[in-house]
Amino acid sequence: AEGHVAITQYFSAHMTRSIELSAGTTIGSLRVATEYPFSQMIAIEINNVSQEFVLELRIPGWCGDARIELDGRMMPETVSRGTMHALKIPAGSHAISLLLPMKIRIERRPPNLPFPGVAVPTNAATILRGPLVYAMPREYVLDVGMVFDNEDSNSPVGQAQGQNSYLLGTGPWRYALVIEEDTNADADLKHQYHPPSPLPHGQGPFAESLVPDRIIAKATLLPREEWDVQRSGRGHVVECATGSTSIDHYNTSWAGPLPRSPVSSAERVPQYIELIPYGATNLRIAEFVTTRGFCKKEKR
């Protein structure tokens, strides 16, 4: 709205130049400090406000219990998800705390529609926390082709602006997550957060070695008979030409159709796998088969 200040994206920033609003209000400086989207707390400092104005804060649709404090006092107004929440800021200098509690969520995929009138239900699970989708990074061998614009002045330093990359998947991928109840995801999936280290110049946090959080999940590895690669049609198995890859006789293919969840948990040995934000992965599994119940013997 005219004369308001709206914060729609949350990241650390410091504006030292004064802000002049159409209603005649001036704001001396504004600072935002946060580790969002990994952390649920956003701290906002507003200094030297000449007269009352309205600060609008975006409340994401996934957050049902956001809370706002002004100078340490909890605001009594209801904070509704999926809205721009209006907060009156008096003259002077103030500290605002916005808490966006992030719970792990499980969303189930609707039926696939491979052909008109044909629905294939898989009930596959996607794992989310806050605004992020989490995926299991798969191990791979990187074959590098042509490199583009490789200059000393690049940022991040030493990283070409572009290259042809071929990711040859080598690690296991046929995992089924052990999920007892979708509505109680925290019972099966454990979030871990480690304060981030300083990032290399020009590098963002979305890299497997730099991302500060992950979700630990219990999973079982399904046999090929239950979940195989595509054996015919589009994406079917093709052996790469000799000498074209660093792995001899490498087969490329799509993953086959997911078995319908939940699959049986009998006689399976569970293990723990790590899920990280989708944007920090290069080769990944982000849609999971699930199973219910604990298996015979756990291993880590």
- At 61-105, the pLDDT tens digits run 999 999 999 999 999 989 999 999 999 999 999 999 999 999 999
C-alpha distance from residue 3 to each of 6, 44, 54, 79, 97 (Å): 10, 19, 8, 21, 22
Q: Would you say residue 299 has pLDDT above 70?
A: no
Q: In whole angstroms, what is the distance from residue 28 CA to residue 16 CA?
A: 7
- What pLDDT was estimated at residue 298? 47
Q: Average pLDDT in the 179-194 region?
A: 93
**What is the value of pTM for the model shown?**
0.89
Question: Which pair of tokens denotes residue 50?
Answer: 């000449």
139-162 burial, b at 16+ Cβ within 10 Å, e below that, comes to: eeeebeeeeeeeeeeeeeeeeeee
C-alpha distance from residue 191 to each of 119, 147, 150, 298 (Å): 34, 37, 38, 19
- DSSP one-letter string for 58-106: EE-TT-SS-EEEETTEE--S---TTEEEEEEE-SEEEEEEEE----EEE
- Better pLDDT: 216 or 198: 216
- At 124-141, the pLDDT tens digits run 999 999 999 999 999 999
- What pLDDT was estimated at residue 297? 45
Question: Which pair of tokens denotes residue 199?
Answer: 């990032």
Q: In whole angstroms, what is the distance from residue 55 CA to residue 21 CA?
A: 12
Q: Would you say residue 294 has pLDDT above 60?
A: no
- At 252-288, the pLDDT tens digits run 999 998 999 999 876 678 899 999 999 999 999 999 9
Question: Which pair of tokens denotes residue 142?
Answer: 């990187």
Q: In whole angstroms, what is the distance from residue 94 CA to residue 49 CA?
A: 9
Question: Which pair of tokens denotes residue 153?
Answer: 């002045």
Name the percent of the chain lying above pLDDT 90. Answer: 76
Return all residues near 88 (Cβ < 8 A) that are at least 6 apart: 52, 53, 54, 55
